[in-house]
Amino acid sequence: MGTSKLPTWIKKKPPRLPADTQILFFHRLNHILSKGYPLLDALSMTSWDPKLSQITRTISIHLKEGLALDQAFQKTHFSPVVITFLFFGQNHFDLTVTFKQCELILEMRETNKKKLIHSLRYPILLFIFVLLAFSVIQRSILPNFMMLFNDGSTLWLIKGLSLLIDGLGLTAAVLTVTWISWLFVSPRLSTNQLLSIVSSIPYIRHGYALTLSFSFTTHIQTLLAAGLTLKDALVLMRNQSHQRVLSKYSEQILSGLQDGKTAGQSIYPCTLLREEVTNIFHQAHDNEALKGELELLSDFYMDYMETTLAKWLQRVQPIFFLLIALLVVLIYASIMLPLYQWMDQM
């Protein structure tokens, strides 16, 4: 019997390489490249590590078959952010710088991910336990109290607690469904639809604008450093398919330049590029000055993202503990206050 093919969107994707393995790979490869070895020789030497031997062999085979650097890494299941950096990095022939950028980005993301997991692991487990306990109380104890007390503040407290637990459960369910739906729907949205949704949500807009501005400044700066003109760099960014918003914005900027506008005027309609980017293009008078200022701005964005994430991680755990403490106090009050009221009536 023939087997029916699964739709493309539900086919199982190959597992992505663990972030720690990717970081180790770039660290080893970059160290060898810095000694002056060609890429294929450096890959061969990197394969001396048993953890990296299969990865390096696969990349070497793809490169010998004639694939571009970003395509070879994509077929080896590296992170999308790495693929994007490699697409632009292969155009300025300084692979040591490109691989170092990939290593730093992966390290920052993995460090913040581990900090987030460490900060939330215990509070989330405690929060789930409290919610389960609260659910049991809501369904077994509170209904009996509501039958005993038909009026007064105690009844309002009990009803409020029931609404609170229902609201928390509903909120968690809605957030989970929304997140899963977004993972499936977002790749199928047009670029204009994606930009419209992102722009309409303040916190998401702020974070997306920061990461997009970082990508834009970093890639333009590296291409200018390779000797490309601004127009050639924008054409290259327009033709890439790894970040469609960057491609669309590059097309808009090129269209503005063709209409006789300055670079700053052409970038202004790209609303998700931060104000600092527009200001730099207004102030820079030549490619050399633009390259230096974009390099400084790229470093600033990297530091700013790291410090901002660290600040939010420091806030998350206290917020969770305060919420848990509030729930515990409410549970205690929902049980003890009716008992005290009942004792007073005796």
Quote the CA–CA distance of 263 and 283 in Å, as a whole number: 10
Q: Specify burial of residue 224 (Cβ count, 10 A radius: 0-12, 13-18, 19+).
A: buried
262 conformational bin, left if phi > 0, alpha if psi -120 to 50, beta if neither = beta
Quote the CA–CA distance of 247 and 30 in Å, as a whole number: 29
Quote the CA–CA distance of 140 and 22 in Å, as a whole number: 51
Quote the CA–CA distance of 213 and 301 in Å, as a whole number: 8
> For position 101, what pLDDT does the model report?
78
Q: Specify burial of residue 109 (Cβ count, 10 A radius: 0-12, 13-18, 19+).
A: middle
> For position 61, what pLDDT does the model report?
92
Question: Which tokens is 2 given?
Answer: 């023939």
| pTM for the structure as a whole | 0.62
Buried b (16+ CB within 10 A) or exposed e, 249-279: bbebbbebbeeeeebbbbbbebebbbeebbe
> For position 82, what pLDDT does the model report?
83
> For position 9, what pLDDT does the model report?
38
**Rounded alpha-carbon distances, angstroms, from residue 301 to 212, 269, 305, 342:** 10, 21, 6, 61
**Rounded alpha-carbon distances, angstroms, from residue 41 to 28, 98, 216, 222, 265:** 13, 17, 32, 25, 46
Quote the CA–CA distance of 158 and 164 in Å, as a whole number: 10
More confident residue, 130 or 205: 205
Residue type, 267: I
Q: What percent of the chain has pLDDT over 70?
A: 78
35 conformational bin, left if phi > 0, alpha if psi -120 to 50, beta if neither = alpha
Q: How many residues does the chain have?
A: 346
More confident residue, 303 or 137: 303
What's the pLDDT band for 25 if we cut at 50, 70, 90?
Answer: very high
Residue type, 75: K
pLDDT in tens, 271-330: 889 988 888 888 877 778 888 888 888 889 888 887 887 777 777 767 777 777 776 776
Mean pLDDT rounded to a whole number for the chain: 78
> For position 174, what pLDDT does the model report?
86
With tokens 């490109």, the residue in question is 98
With tokens 């939330």, the residue in question is 120
> For position 6, what pLDDT does the model report?
43
More confident residue, 138 or 212: 212
What's the pLDDT band for 218 if we cut at 50, 70, 90?
Answer: confident
Domain ranges of the chain: 16-78, 96-346
Taking residues 216-241, report their average pLDDT: 81
pLDDT at 245 over 80: yes
What's the pLDDT band for 7 if we cut at 50, 70, 90?
Answer: very low
What three-state secondary structure class fits 203?
helix
Highest mean pLDDT out of 45-54, 117-126, 144-153, 155-164 = 45-54
Half-sphere exposure of 235 (CA within 13 A, CB side): 7
pLDDT at 155 over 70: no
What's the pLDDT band for 231 if we cut at 50, 70, 90?
Answer: confident
Sign of CA dihedral 275, 278, 284, 290: positive
Half-sphere exposure of 200 (CA within 13 A, CB side): 6
